[in-house]
């Protein structure tokens, strides 16, 4: 469970987080949807440098997958998710059949496995980069 919530824990070391859930994926069925964290920094404007820092950290992270920080102008929340799934947030994000058709079931499961493996390493990277920024 700690790995599943590691990005939430990392972000909460930067500033207090407002979110309804701290898990990136379902423990019972990790393939039910792509890993993601919907959040916002509490009492921090969307244009704050902390979001820019996080966006840069996600882009520079070298893991199994590329990661994105996504938002919309009309929303206050941001979403961290693998880049390959970013475009699907508006479509069938929770639909395994959609991914089976888009990638094949095996490829989808490999992508999810890679993302899940990335999560704790991405959390460590965010903290490391944030500490460097403070020096």
Whole-model pTM above 0.85?
yes
Residue 16 Cα distances to 39, 42, 103, angstroms: 10, 6, 37
Joined tokens for residue 75 = 């929303």
Q: In this model, does residue 122 exceed pLDDT 90?
A: yes
Q: What is the pLDDT of residue 96?
A: 84
How far apart are the C-alpha atoms of 9 and 11, rounded to whole Å?
A: 6
The structural domains of the chain, with segments of one domain joined by +, span: 6-134
Task: Give the SS3 label for residue 1.
Answer: coil
The tens digit of pLDDT for each residue in 42-79 reads: 999 999 999 999 999 999 999 999 999 999 888 889 99
% residues pLDDT > 70 (the chain): 99
Residues 6+ apart with CB under 8 A from 101: none
List residues bridging with 38 in a β-sheet. 79
d(CA 43, CA 16) in angstroms, rounded, equals 9
For residues 44 and 35, the answer to whether their CB atoms sit within 8 Å is no
Are 41 and 18 in contact by the 8 Å Cβ rule? The answer is yes
For tokens 């070391």, what's the residue?
13
What pLDDT shows up at residue 75? 85
Q: What is the C-alpha separation between 25 and 16, in angstroms, rounded?
A: 21
Token pair, residue 4, equals 């599943």
């Amino acid at each position: 469970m700690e790995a599943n919530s590691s990005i939430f824990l990392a972000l909460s070391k930067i500033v207090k987080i407002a979110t309804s859930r701290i898990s990136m994926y379902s423990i019972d069925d990790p393939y039910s949807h792509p890993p993601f964290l919907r959040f916002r920094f509490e009492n921090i404007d969307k244009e704050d440098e902390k979001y820019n820092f996080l966006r840069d950290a996600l882009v520079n992270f070298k893991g199994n997958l590329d990661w994105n920080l996504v938002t919309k102008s009309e929303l206050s929340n941001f979403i961290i998710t693998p880049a390959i799934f970013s475009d699907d947030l508006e479509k069938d994000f929770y639909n395994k059949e959609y991914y089976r058709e888009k990638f094949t079931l095996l490829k989808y499961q490999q992508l999810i496995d890679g993302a899940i493996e990335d999560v704790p390493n991405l959390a460590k990277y965010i903290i490391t980069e944030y500490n460097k920024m403070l020096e």
